[in-house]
Structure 1
Amino acid sequence: MDRQFHFISGLPRSGSTLLSAILSQNPRFYAGMSGPIGGTFNTLLGELSGRNEYAVFVTDAQRQRLLKGLFDGYYGPEYTAEIVFDTNRIWCSKMRHLQLLFPQGKVIACVRNMSWIIDSIEQLIRKNTFQPSSIFNYQAGGTVYSRAEGLANGEGMVGAPYNALKEAFYGDETANLMLLQYETLVSDPAKAIAAVYDFIGEAPYAHDFENIIYQADEFDLRAGTPGLHEVRKKIAVRERMSVLPPDVFRRFENDTFWLDPSLNPRNVRVM
């Protein structure tokens, strides 16, 4: 099947699973949680580099065919959708690769206030008190301060995709990039999804925002973090108090660079 590929990326705990669950209501679409293609892509790219003694026999054209073949091979005949959204936080750091492999492909980067991302992860850790999480390598020690520091550093679950997001936002391939705010997705899902359809050039579809279905309990349980990909049936804004100490919350509250038009020199679309 000659299918179209698009990509969901951005920050963790920012609505990528919810977005996938909504898009999957359209029978022409396939969208799921983060899958294995991103990591495999990186591994293959490394194996095709000069560190492999046989790389001398591999041309750039062959590299491109092999990398593109990952998608065709993984999304085989058992996937009947015409349009596939592959989700991985790595894609924001691979904008140039994606542009060359999939010129018509779009990248939708989900974003959210950074303080609330850290808070959301801390909420999960506290909810699953007796199950150390893969997020922190199943280590049972630490405090909210060490956890926030680990999440935010350049190799952390939040820091790494945040840096990748900025790389994409200020790079040369921004025509294929849209940022979708979590706050918009949950407060006005119809508006948010309409913007996604417009961005990818697809005709609107009547989505049901009060009957969202998604299930990844087995994966979350194996990760020691039940609820990691939980999606509520009905989309709604839920106000609550942060569990972060005030100094930890304030540390990240000014990191939402996408909200400042003066910091958007390439006029990236922000919904």
Structure 2
Amino acid sequence: MKHIHFISGLPRSGSSLFSALLRQNPRFVANMSGPVAGLFNTLLGEMSGKNEFSVFIDDIKRQRILRGIFSSYYGDEGGDAVIFDTSRWWCTRLGALKILFPNSKIIACVRQLPWVLDSIERVIRSNAFQPSSIFNFNPGGTVYSRVEGILSNEGLVGFAYNALKEAYFGENNSNLMLLQYETLANDPGLALNAVYGFIGEPYYRHDFENVVLDNDEFDRRAGTPGLHRIRPRVEPFERKTLLPPDLAVRFKDDSFWRNPQLNTRGVYVV
């Protein structure tokens, strides 16, 4: 795995759009969140002390086995392919990834939290007759209970937000970039040029008028059609929030990456 990088960060923050743009480059392999991070975590657990045979497994073997997940999963790709694997889990694994793949980069997609919550609520309301896997297919609840649920420590947004903070303020973030949704939507050329420079690849001329990513079958099975759907043209989209006013203002100051004084380790924010 000579060329491998990771996409992580907050949900509903442009990772699908980012992956769709990357895929336009014929050398790049990218998609929505896949199974690799889950396999990684499961194997890591199975090689721990809870397994009586772990006495036969040292860290060198653990590293070799974990690298093998990536080489096996992406084994059909050409040797010159640049892999981007996506998962919100990767923000919790910066130290391990730096050891396994020292030249890899982690690009965390971020967005102002009220608009993350608004985007999820908008998808839920657009599928009034299909309970979503986001809420364990529970058809009940209100916007308030849904927000509280996804902001819990293990919730869709809460876990990702805490993982992002761990990565941003941690000691292993020298290979971390934060890519703001607002930058990607308003100036995709600037955003991608920064990404290419960050990962050390020659720039590819992307088409921002015809962006394609088809994950409709996954979204349908998750009871959330349109969850990963993107518009073909990259452009900002102004709208009023669906959130009640008290929810809209409750999280407006939680975008810590927008405060330069908090960026004491000099994380690259685009």
TM superposition score category, shorter chain reference: over 0.9
Q: Which residue in the other structure is 1:104 paired with?
A: 103
Q: Which residue in the other structure is 1:119 paired with?
A: 118
Q: Which residue in the other structure is 1:46 paired with?
A: 45
Structure 1 segments unaligned to the other structure (5+ residues): none
Distance 1:72 1:119 in 2: 38
Q: Which residue in the other structure is 1:143 paired with?
A: 142
Q: Which residue in the other structure is 2:196 paired with?
A: 197
Structure 2: which amino acid aligns with 1:175? S
Asked if the contact 1:30/1:84 (under 8 Å) is kept, the reply is yes
Pairing of 1:149-160 with structure 2 (within 5 A): 149-160=148-159
Structure 2 segments unaligned to the other structure (5+ residues): none
Asked if the contact 1:133/1:225 (under 8 Å) is kept, the reply is yes
Distance 2:78 2:224 in 1: 28
Offset at residue 241 of structure 1 (A): 0.6
Pairing of 1:102-251 with structure 2 (within 5 A): 102-251=101-250
Secondary structure (helix, strand or coil) at the match of 1:175 reads coil
Asked if the contact 1:27/1:81 (under 8 Å) is kept, the reply is no
Asked if the contact 1:9/1:87 (under 8 Å) is kept, the reply is yes
Distance 1:78 1:207 in 2: 21
Q: How many residue pairs get matched? A: 270
Please say if 1:28 is aligned against 2:19: no
Secondary structure (helix, strand or coil) at the match of 1:221 reads helix
Asked if the contact 2:3/2:80 (under 8 Å) is kept, the reply is no
Distance 1:41 1:78 in 2: 20
Offset at residue 3 of structure 1 (A): 3.4
Asked if the contact 1:92/1:168 (under 8 Å) is kept, the reply is yes
Secondary structure (helix, strand or coil) at the match of 1:262 reads helix
Offset at residue 78 of structure 1 (A): 4.9
Secondary structure (helix, strand or coil) at the match of 1:13 reads coil
Structure 2: which amino acid aligns with 1:109? A
The ranges of structure 1 where at least 4 consecutive aligned residues each deviate by more than 6 angstroms after the TM superposition are none
- Normalised by the size of structure 2, how large is the TM-score? 0.98
Distance 2:252 2:78 in 1: 41
Pairwise CA RMSD: 0.9
Structure 1: which amino acid aligns with 2:64? R
Structure 2: which amino acid aligns with 1:90? W
- Normalised by the size of structure 1, how large is the TM-score? 0.98
Q: Which residue in the other structure is 1:56 paired with?
A: 55
Asked if the contact 1:30/1:81 (under 8 Å) is kept, the reply is no
Pairing of 1:51-90 with structure 2 (within 5 A): 51-78=50-77, 82-90=81-89
Q: Which residue in the other structure is 2:93 paired with?
A: 94
Structure 2: which amino acid aligns with 1:192? A
Secondary structure (helix, strand or coil) at the match of 1:158 reads helix
Asked if the contact 1:3/1:84 (under 8 Å) is kept, the reply is no
Q: Which residue in the other structure is 1:19 paired with?
A: 18
Secondary structure (helix, strand or coil) at the match of 2:93 reads helix
Render the CA deviation track for 1:36-63: whole Å, top value 9, x for unaligned: 0011100000000000000000010000
Structure 1: which amino acid aligns with 2:238? E
Render the CA deviation track for 1:4-40: whole Å, top value 9, x for unaligned: 1000000000000100000000011101110000111
